[in-house]
Every structure is written in C-alpha cells, then in structure tokens.
C-alpha cells in the first residue's frame, strides 16, 4: 500500500533536487528544467492531498499549475533563446549586468 506519506516524501525529494539544480547549475536550460521539476513536485503533493481527503480541489489546482507552467515555458524558452543570441552561450552567469 502506497500511503500519502510516500507521495509527500517523493514530492519533497523532487522539489529539493529542483531547488539545488537551480542554485548550482549554470546552464539555463538545466535550471529551467529544474524549475519544471519543482512545479511537478508541488503537483504531486497536491494530488496526494486530494487523494487523501477524497476531494477534487487539488486535482483542479494541478490543471491550473500545468497551464501556467505551459505559459511560463513559452516565456522562459523565449528568454533563453534571446539570451543565447546575445551572449552566444546558455551560461546564466554571463547575464550579470543587472547589478548595483
């Protein structure tokens, strides 16, 4: 029997991987995928609770998150394309001109 706790632990592990991926990786595409990982970790958590309480709200939320993630992907990928055209790389640390 897979309990709610199992889902939550998996969600937490995925989320943590995403967080550290964003922080330690310099490749923008990798960072982007890590963000997606975090979103889906949250989705998993929402689904786990929806199942536990037997209510549909959590599932509906997941649809919203997926929709927003799709929109975010469109914007984010466009940004990545522009960044690679400007700096000839996908290294996020190249884009450091916005500072004090």
Partner 1 sequence: MIDNFWILLLFPLFGAAVNGLIGKKLPARLVGVLGSLTVFLSFAVAAISFVQLLGMSPAERAVTNHLFTWIQAGDFVAQCSFLFDPLSAVMILVVTGVGFLIHLYSIEYMRGEDGYYRFFAYMNLFIFMMSILVLADNYLLMFVGWEGVGLCSYLLIGYYFDTRVAGDAAKKAFIVNRIGDFGFLLGVFLIFQTFGSVSFHEVFTDVVQRFPAPEAGLGVLGAITLLLFLGATGKSAQIPLYVWLPDAMAGPTPVSALIHAATMVTAGVYMIARSAALYSRAPDTMAVVATIGVLTCLLAALIAITQKDIKKVLAYSTVSQLGYMFLAVGVGAFSAGIFHLYTHAFFKALLFLGSGSVILAVHHEQDMYKMGGLKKYLPVTWITMGAATLAIAGIPPFAGFFSKDEILWQALTSPHGQIIFWLIGTAVAALTAFYMARLMFLTFYGPERFELGHHGHGEQGHSGGHEGAKPVEPSWIIKFPLSVLGILSLVGGLVGLPAWLGPNYFEGFLEPSLEFAYRGPLTQEGQGHASEIGLTVLVVTLAIVAIWVAYRYFLADPTRAKQFAERHPALYQAFWNKFYVDEIYDAFIVHPIGRLSESFLWRGIDDGVIDAAVNGVASLFRNWSRRVRKMQTGYARAYASWILFGVVLIFVYYYIVS
Contact positions vs partner 1 (CB under 8 A): 19, 22-24, 26, 31, 92-93, 95-100
Helix (H) or strand (E) holding 11: helix 4-24
Instruction: Give Cα separations from 94 to 21, 45, 80, 90, 100 (angstroms).
Output: 18, 35, 12, 8, 16
Least separation, in Å, of the C-beta of 63 and partner 1? 25
Q: For partner 1, which is the closer residue by CB, 35 or 62?
A: 35
DSSP 30-61: HHHHHHHHHHHHHHHHHHHHHHHHT-SHHHHH
Q: For partner 1, which is the closer residue by CB, 56 or 93?
A: 93
Least separation, in Å, of the C-beta of 94 and partner 1? 10
Q: For partner 1, which is the closer residue by CB, 50 or 80?
A: 80
């Amino acid at each position: 029997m897979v309990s709610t706790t199992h889902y939550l632990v998996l969600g937490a592990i995925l989320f943590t991987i995403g967080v550290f991926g964003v922080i330690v990786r310099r490749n923008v595409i990798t960072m982007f995928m890590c963000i997606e990982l975090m979103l889906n970790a949250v989705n998993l958590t929402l689904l786990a609770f929806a199942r536990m309480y037997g209510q549909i709200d959590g599932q509906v939320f997941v649809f919203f998150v997926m929709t927003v993630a799709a929109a975010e992907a469109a914007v984010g990928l466009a940004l990545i394309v522009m960044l690679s055209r400007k700096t000839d790389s996908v290294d996020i640390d190249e884009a450091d001109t916005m500072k004090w």
